[in-house]
Amino acid sequence: MKDHTRISEIRADLESGVVTCAELVEGYLDRIDAQPELNAFLEVWADEAREQARRVDSKVKSGQAGRLAGVVIALKDVLAYEGHKVSASSKILEGFTSIYTGTAVQRLLDEDAILIGRTNCDEFAMGASNENSAYGVVLNAADKSRVPGGSSGGSAVAVQAGLCHASLGTDTGGSIRQPAAFTGLVGMKPTYGLVSRWGLLAYASSFDQIGPITKSVEDNALILEIMAGPDANDSTVSQRPKPHYEVKSADRKFRFGIMQEAVEHPGLDPFIRDSVYKLADQLGADGHEVGFFHFPLLDYMVPAYYILTTAEASSNLSRYSGLMYGYRSPDAHDLESTYIYSRTQGFGQEVKRRIMLGTFVLSSDYYDAYYKKGQQVRRIIRQKTEEILGQFDAILLPTTSTPAFRLGEKSKDPVAMYLADLFTVQANLAGNPAISIPWNSTPEGLPTGMQLMCNHFEEQKLYELAKTLEKYK
């Protein structure tokens, strides 16, 4: 099977008859069957994908195919799709089928995308290694003893291992960018409010965004522009008109800002640090402006992020009660025992930890000390980020402090795991768009990612920059 790196190539091959959607789908299905140990998919919609492929093939013939014709896409298991199971990789949603389709998914379908299945992830998107899934770990295809990152680990590995052409992930604190970096892919966390969250099973409502994980910047931009734009179902979506992205390397010179505290962070892998310095030198040599800035708030970001996201999560996850849908404990015998046993048995350890933490920080005795303070820190981070992006076109920083770590390496130490989000949470706290692009490989052959962050709604610039940076890899 030919591996298409661009949607435009698929399109060309479909139109010239070199390949059909049906053949593409069979190819992916074969590969999924061949690598079950990756555990990227929780469910494969094989028959449906075949049927959709036939439908799109005939549309291609009649010249009516949409912009995603032949593009086989996997959905992270937190996206509602009518008539399909969605579980957030949690036992608590056992047996639950969505009765509606979320906006982002619907917009892909409207452009003739072929949805091939739902991918494994950390339970309720809470995690940085995909080890928190109720349905088992996902293996990094670059090194099967290592994690793929998380929470969108299954979505990343599905693309990495060629099990689909692209996938959707969600990013609350790095859940698209970090696995994209660990698997050598392009992962975009759009501006908060660019893509409707209607149909996204909420983890932390004021942080969550849906974004694409792809092999190329071009594909990423196309999928994002199709999903983006106003939606009456989500009042937090911006009313800006639907965007259109032109992805090409720019001739002009840019100003890149590098956070001193990030590159000097003791936890940063030396290889990755050197890559950043090397890139800075190259950019400078080519006439781009590279400046270092101070951001003393770096160490406050992860704590503020965990206070605020767990607070929202503790409320968002209250609906999973064992009453109306999903898992109900066989030990339930009245209302209270239904809540207690269903939630105790239905949620995994990490989810319960975060619900407890969030409940604590919102409790009336601790609200001011934690939640309110967290909000204040968030406001300051937002202001400072805006100030810095007033001086630079983009903030340049590594996506992760290390390459993919070993399975089990951090799973016993939540704080170490939380620090995996060190360089990614800023974009979610401040609402800015950030992209991780595949950068290089460590001597052990592990992929790394380079991250760029721009002002709100500057996705166009971000894609342009990502494209410009490609020649420095």
Partner 1 sequence: MRSGTHSVSLPGIAQDSFHYPMNNTEFEAVIGLEIHVQLLTASKAFSSDSAEYGGLPNTQISAISLGHPGTLPRHNKSAVEMAVKMGLALHCDIRKYNSYSRKNYFYADLPKGYQITQFDTPLCNNGYVPIRLKDGTRKQIGLIRIHMEEDTGKSMHDQDLTDTLVDYNRAGTPLIEIVSEPEIRTGDEAYAFVTEIRRLVRYLGICDGNMEEGSLRCDANISVRPRGTTTFGTKVEVKNMNSISNVKRAIDFEIARQTELILSGGTVVGETRGFNALAGTTFSMRRKELVNDYRYFPEPDLPPLILTDQQIEAVKHLMPELPDALYARFTEQYGLSEYDAGVLVDDKHTALYYENLVRHTSNYKAAANWVSVAIRGYLNEQAMGMEDFSLQPEKIADIIHLIDKGVLSHSAAVQKLFPAMVQDPAVSAEEWVQKLNLVQNTDNDFIEKLADEVLASMPEKVAEYRNGKTGLLGLFVGEVMKLSKGKAEPRKTNEVIRRKLDA
Active site residues: 76, 151, 175
Binding range to partner 1, per CB under 8 A, among 214-222, 322-330, 417-425, 440-448: 322-330
Least spacing, CB of residue 358 vs partner 1, in Å: 9
Instruction: Kindly tell me which of 86 and 420 has the beta carbon lying closer to partner 1.
Output: 86
Asked if 345 is part of the footprint of partner 1 (rule: CB under 8 A), the reply reads no
Q: Tell me if 4 sits within 8 A of 165, measured CB to CB.
A: yes
Q: Between 395 and 425, name the residue whose CB sits nearer to partner 1.
A: 425
The number of residues that bind partner 1 (CB under 8 A) is: 45
Q: Which amino acid is at 367?
A: Y
Report the site for partner 1 in 270-309 (rule: CB under 8 A): none
When asked if residue 354 is in the footprint of partner 1 (CB under 8 A), the reply is no
* Site for partner 1 contains 86 (CB under 8 A): yes
Q: Is 169 in the site for partner 1 (CB under 8 A)?
A: no
Nearer residue to partner 1 within complex by CB, 202 or 396: 202
Binding to partner 1, residues 112-141 (CB under 8 A): none
Q: How far is the CB of 78 from partner 1 (least distance, A)?
A: 8
For partner 1, the closer CB: 96 or 293 = 96
Q: Is 319 in the site for partner 1 (CB under 8 A)?
A: yes
How many angstroms separate the Cα of 371 from the Cα of each of 104, 312, 313, 333?
31, 10, 13, 35
Alpha carbons 143 and 271: distance in angstroms, whole number: 18
Please report whether residue 371 would count as binding partner 1 according to CB under 8 A: yes
Given 25, 40, 69, 311, the residue binding partner 1 (CB under 8 A): 311
Query: Which one of the spans 310-318, 346-354, 379-387, 407-415 is the region binding partner 1 (CB under 8 A)?
Result: 310-318
Q: Shortest gap between Cβ of 290 and partner 1 (angstroms)?
A: 36
Closer Cβ to partner 1, 1 or 335, answer by number: 335
- Of the candidate spans 55-63, 181-189, 232-240, 280-288, the one that interacts with partner 1 by CB under 8 A turns out to be 232-240
- Smallest gap, in angstroms, from Cβ of residue 453 to partner 1? 22
How far does CA 337 lie from the centroid of its chain? 36
Q: Which of 28, 45, 182, 198 binds partner 1 (CB under 8 A)?
A: 198
Closer to partner 1 by Cβ: residue 61 or 319: 319
Q: Which of 16, 99, 270, 471 binds partner 1 (CB under 8 A)?
A: 99
**Should residue 201 be labelled a site residue for partner 1 when binding is judged by CB under 8 A?**
yes
CA 297 to chain centre: 24
Instruction: Figure out which of the listed residues 364, 368, 390, 415 binds partner 1, where binding follows CB under 8 A.
Output: 364
The one segment of 151-159, 179-187, 230-238, 419-427 that binds partner 1 by CB under 8 A: 230-238
Shortest reach from residue 330's CB to partner 1, in Å: 17
Q: Does residue 363 belong to the site contacting partner 1 (CB under 8 A)?
A: yes
Q: Annotate the chain with three-state secondary structure.
A: CCCCCCHHHHHHHHHHCCCCHHHHHHHHHHHHHHCHHHCCEEEECHHHHHHHHHHHHHHHHCCCCCCCCCCEEEEECCECCCCCECCCCCHHHCCCECCCCCHHHHHHHHCCCEEEEEECCCHHHCCCCCCCCCCCCCCECCECCECCCCCCHHHHHHHHCCCCCEEEEEECCCCCHHHHHHHCCEEEECCCCCECCCCECCCCCCCCEEEEEECCHHHHHHHHHHHECCCCCCCCCCCCCCCCCCCCCCCCCCEEEEEHHHHCCCCCCHHHHHHHHHHHHHHHHCCCEEEEECCCCHHHHHHHHHHHHHHHHHHHHHHCCCCCCCCCCCCCCCHHHHHHHHHHHHCCHHHHHHHHHHHHHHCCCCCHHHHHHHHHHHHHHHHHHHHHHHHCCEEEEECCCCCCCECCCCCCCHHHHHHHHCCCHHHHHHCCCEEEEEEEECCCCCEEEEEEECCCCCHHHHHHHHHHHHHHC
Among 19, 40, 56, 80, binds partner 1 (CB under 8 A): 80
Q: Which is nearer to partner 1, 94 or 261 (CB)?
A: 94
Degrees to nearest 5, angle at CA 152 with 261 and 406: 70
Among 35, 96, 373, 472, binds partner 1 (CB under 8 A): 96
> Which residues of this protein are in contact with partner 1, per CB under 8 A?
78-80, 86, 88, 93, 96, 98-100, 102, 197-202, 204-206, 232-236, 311-312, 314-315, 317-321, 323-325, 335, 339, 359, 362-364, 367, 371
